A = this chain, B = another copy of it.
Amino acid sequence: MKLSRRDFFGAAGVGAAGVVALGAGGLAVGRAATTDEGTTTADAVEFHGDHQAGVVTPAQDRLHFVAFDVITDDRDQLVRLLQAWTDAARRMTRGQDAGPVGAVAGNEYAPPDDTGEAMGLPPAGLTLTIGFGPTLFRTADGTDRFGIADRQPAELVELPAFAGDELRPEISGGDLCIQACADDPQVAVHAVRNLARIGQGLVGVRWSQLGFGRTSSTSSDQTTPRNLFGFKDGTDNLKAQQPATLDRFVWVSGTGSWMDGGSYLVSRRIRMLVEVWDRQNLRDQQQTIGRTKGSGAPLGRTAEFDPVDFTAQVDGEPAVPPTSHVFLAHPTNSGTAILRRGYSFVDGSDGLGRLDAGLFFLCYQSDPATGFVQVQRNLRTDKLNEYVQHTSSAVFACPPGVTDEDDWWGSGLFG
């Protein structure tokens, strides 16, 4: 008799009465409406594909992002970890437990292969997206840690310094990252926590960030959310419904390398000085952003999705000021486009009477140099800079999708 995880958990702890307990225990545990045999429920996002899920997937409501340092020096251990992570990710995105606990059924003297806090919860649209940082390929002193230095993409280099950066090294960078997005934070946290558990002794959590409200639509089916400045954010973001544009700006292609089908991820933790912002008058706020606070319409226009008109004038001045965020970030003026996928955060307070709140900015692009770096350089005169501080920065190469049950995260890089 092969016990599923739910039976195992249900049976354990009642000793000789185990058989009696199977019925009641089986009802109470296990992820809702799933089986260990791979049945998925309606809100599960397919894990397999040419691209990783979690990039153009309609942005879920919650985020748990984690960056790991690799502790082991052993390439084979790292590869086995990536394989084990892939198996666990495949299961968890289907709403299953992280490990096939049934295989060791009855052994209550072993640590469980799932931590349990997501039992009874649906898949909740969970996506798990992996990325490899520059330091995985080569340490700062040039050491080829895992024999992959010659496979480091030219595009994967540390970001340049930007004016105004206030980066904290301890929450920047990382050898590996996992972006967990779900509509239930407990599901996202459960996934990251179990991947960290599986990696115990091989990787350590370098930094981790929770996000509670998506700040960009990545699908034209989604309404535009508001960021903590109270403005609609991401109106003109790239959308899943624009495949040609995504192929141009987001997905890597034609390099003949292991990154074809992948994308580069830039993360920036952007503290927003909300108390300062809240003291600005409405006119200043709108002139800083370049949009109307209520409707989200570009200044000088009337509806959110009206195209920005950079020639419009109000009282003899440009309706959209040339120092506004929309003016400088817009593809028309930055000359490029990125897929934004950020989340709001509040990480307590700062000890000075203020909330430690802001935007955990995530964006995907086919090349950071012509993506985030180009946009950010164009923002050097952005009026918004007065109200934000970038406190964390990282860049990762996110490989293409896992194609089938035998494939694994990093197979193209390490295989």
Query: Among B111, B120, B275, which residue has its beta carbon within 8 angstroms of that of A197?
Result: B275
A29 at the B interface (CB under 8 A): yes
CB distance from A128 to the nearest CB of B (A): 16
Which residues of chain A from 293 to 316 have a CB within 8 Å of any chain B CB?
A: 293-297, 299-304, 314-315
A14 at the B interface (CB under 8 A): yes
CB distance from A383 to the nearest CB of B (A): 15
Neighbouring B residues of A206 by C-beta, 8 Å: 349, 353
Bound CA–CA A323/B349 (angstroms): 37
Q: Could you say which interface size class chain A belongs to?
A: 35 or more
Which residues of chain A from 337 to 375 have a CB within 8 Å of any chain B CB?
A: 344, 346-349, 351-357
A159 at the B interface (CB under 8 A): no
Q: How many copies make up the complex?
A: 2
Neighbouring B residues of A66 by C-beta, 8 Å: 349
A17 at the B interface (CB under 8 A): yes
Contact A116 B231 (CB under 8 A): yes
Bound CA–CA A337/B207 (angstroms): 38
CB distance from A116 to the nearest CB of B (A): 2
Which residues of chain A from 151 to 176 have a CB within 8 Å of any chain B CB?
A: 170-171
Contact A292 B9 (CB under 8 A): yes
CB distance from A225 to the nearest CB of B (A): 8
CB distance from A233 to the nearest CB of B (A): 10
Neighbouring B residues of A117 by C-beta, 8 Å: 213, 226-230, 344
A112 at the B interface (CB under 8 A): yes
Q: Produce 1/0 per residue, A187-212, CB < 8 A to B.
A: 00100110011001000111111101
Contact B21 A295 (CB under 8 A): yes
Neighbouring B residues of A281 by C-beta, 8 Å: 108-111
Contact A9 B294 (CB under 8 A): yes
**In the complex with contacts A111-B279, A193-B355, A353-B205, A116-B297 CB distance below 8 A:** no
Neighbouring B residues of A208 by C-beta, 8 Å: 346, 348-349, 355-356
Which residues of chain A from 89 to 146 have a CB within 8 Å of any chain B CB?
A: 108-112, 114-120
A69 at the B interface (CB under 8 A): yes
Contact A12 B286 (CB under 8 A): yes
Q: Produce 1/0 per residue, A65-88, CB < 8 A to B.
A: 010010100000000000000000
Contact B110 A282 (CB under 8 A): yes
**In the complex with contacts A111-B278, A226-B119, A207-B294 CB distance below 8 A:** no
Contact B14 A294 (CB under 8 A): no
Neighbouring B residues of A11 by C-beta, 8 Å: 294
Known: A8-B294, A64-B346, A210-B346. 12 other contacts (CB 8 A): A12-B292, A13-B292, A20-B302, A25-B297, A29-B295, A109-B281, A117-B226, A117-B344, A196-B275, A207-B348, A209-B348, A212-B212
The interface of chain A, by Cβ under 8 A from chain B, is 6, 8-15, 17, 20-21, 24-25, 27-29, 62, 64, 66, 69, 71, 108-112, 114-120, 170-171, 185-186, 189, 192-193, 196-197, 200, 204-210, 212-213, 223, 225-231, 274-275, 278-283, 285-286, 291-297, 299-304, 314-315, 344, 346-349, 351-357
Can you list 8 contacts pairing A with B, beta carbon distance less than 8 Å?
A14-B300, A21-B297, A112-B230, A115-B229, A115-B278, A116-B293, A170-B351, A210-B346
